[in-house]
């Protein structure tokens, strides 16, 4: 059996949830589990969090149905609403909560003559310019929804930040103030905060927070480590040494002879590569953790293998365990080396490593 697998620490997931709750003690929690719980596995994450959060947030009806298929009856929020109006029958049948983002969705909902009351969140575009109604339209749309017999009386007003990870961002201040102006007279619950805002913008917590990445133990804030924020790694990516080579100075490792030994070097071959989701762009000096030490990746990452320099690591042998990311190697560090974000690394672990 190939030894290269991710494992998911559900205690860390619960710890991180509690961290979010501690930061926003008066808010309800929408746990973001879209994209297979950010790659951490929908079923396991939903079963771990069920009953401990108020809603699950997903991107589409397929993901919402997958939550029901886990035997979970918790409230599920479709963050992009429905794509086609024929989804409304299923939405009604499964009591999904929808976001209304645009005029097409609004018209389809008002025309649909549903038999049950649907829970609706109304998305306002305060500056992300991706989804939602522009502020000047919101009052009228809110009234239309309020007057619709098959829309639940309580309509949650929501917006999403573009730059909440920048601690002093004037953009976020502008989005908050625009959202406040629009919603000030309405007796509606409010939701603004993603993970970065849960941590950095306490005045945005309001009725519902929507943490995603922080639940999975990566830092939502640039230049602040997950550890310093009290978050624990949920995804642990491990492999093993499957071969050892002893190189003389001048000898090279891997495709394209990218790395060349400057001294007599002990190189370990690890059974993991981009075919498992370990990024090929990672080059020299990306750390892995082995036998209590950090060792650098050397040469090109290939599909099934990569090489590390273990010249200074004691007792490395075939079968030695290697952590690619997890408790000792922060996924944020790997993301930085790969010029990406932890979200993408988690999502891109391939089926072979699951
Ligand atoms: C509308 C909305 N809310 C909340 C989140 C969670 O964001 P994060 O994972 O940064 O906490 C997302 C993620 O993309 C989102 O689209």
pLDDT digits (tens, 9 = 90+) for 282-299: 878 899 999 999 999 999
Active site residue 142: no
Which atom of ligand 1 is the closest one to the Cα of 164? 10
Give the binding-site residues of ligand 1, using a 6 Å CB cut-off.
32, 79, 160, 194-196, 210-213, 220
Is 24 a residue whose pLDDT tops 80? Answer: yes
Examine the pLDDT at 169 and tell me if it is beyond 90: no
Q: Which residues, listed in sequence order, are joined to residue 99 by a DSSP beta bridge?
A: 121
- For tokens 């794509």, what's the residue? 83
Task: Identify the CA nearest to 39 among candidates 287, 279, 212.
Answer: 212
pLDDT digits (tens, 9 = 90+) for 327-348: 999 999 999 999 999 999 999 9
Q: Taking the complete model, does pTM exceed 0.85, yes or no?
A: yes
Contact 342, 213 (CB under 8 A): yes
Residue 198 CA, closest ligand 1 atom number: 11
Confidence of residue 321 (pLDDT cuts 50, 70, 90): very high
Among 57, 80, 98, the mutation site with the greatest number of ligand 1 atoms within 8 A of its Cβ is 57
Dist. CA 3 → ligand 1 center (Å): 33
C-beta separation of 208 from 191 below 8 A:
yes
Burial of 309 (0-12, 13-18, 19+ CB in 10 A): buried
Return the best residue to mutate from 37, 81, 210, 331 for the ligand 1 pocket (most ligand atoms within 8 A of CB): 210
Catalytic: which of 34, 38, 208, 274?
Answer: 34
What does the pLDDT read at residue 188? 97
Rounded Cα gap, residues 290 and 324, in angstroms? 9
């Amino acid at each position: 059996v190939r030894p290269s697998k991710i494992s998911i620490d559900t205690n860390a997931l619960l710890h991180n949830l509690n961290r979010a709750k501690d930061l926003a003690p008066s808010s309800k929690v929408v746990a973001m589990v879209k994209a297979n719980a950010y790659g951490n596995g929908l079923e396991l994450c939903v079963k771990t969090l069920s009953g401990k959060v108020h809603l699950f947030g997903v991107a589409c009806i397929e993901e919402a149905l997958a939550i029901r298929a886990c035997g979970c009856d918790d409230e599920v929020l479709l963050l992009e609403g429905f794509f086609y109006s024929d989804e409304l029958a299923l939405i009604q049948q499964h009591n999904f909560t929808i976001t209304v983002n645009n005029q097409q969705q609004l018209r389809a909902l008002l025309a649909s003559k549903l038999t049950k009351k649907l829970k609706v969140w109304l998305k306002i575009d305060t500056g992300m310019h991706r989804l939602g109604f522009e502020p000047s339209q919101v009052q009228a749309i809110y009234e239309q929804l309020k007057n619709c017999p098959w829309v639940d009386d309580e309509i949650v007003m929501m917006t999403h930040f573009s730059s909440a990870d920048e601690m002093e961002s004037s953009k976020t201040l502008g989005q908050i103030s625009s959202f406040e102006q629009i919603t000030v007279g309405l007796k509606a619950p409010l939701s603004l905060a993603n993970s970065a805002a849960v941590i950095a913008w306490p005045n945005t917590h309001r009725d519902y927070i929507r943490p995603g990445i922080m639940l999975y133990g990566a830092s939502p804030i640039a230049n602040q480590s997950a550890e310093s924020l009290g978050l624990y790694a949920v995804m642990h990516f491990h492999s093993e040494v499957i071969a050892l080579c002893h190189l003389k100075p001048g000898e090279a490792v891997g495709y394209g002879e990218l790395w060349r030994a400057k001294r007599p070097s002990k190189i370990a071959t690890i059974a993991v590569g981009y075919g498992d989701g370990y990024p090929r762009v990672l080059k020299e000096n990306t750390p892995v953790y082995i036998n209590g030490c950090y060792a650098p990746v050397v040469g090109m990452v290939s599909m099934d293998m990569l090489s590390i320099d273990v010249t200074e690591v004691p007792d490395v042998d075939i079968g030695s365990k290697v952590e690619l990311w997890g408790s000792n190697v922060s996924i944020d560090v790997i993301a930085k080396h790969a010029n990406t974000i932890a979200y993408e690394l988690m999502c891109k672990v391939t089926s072979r490593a699951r």
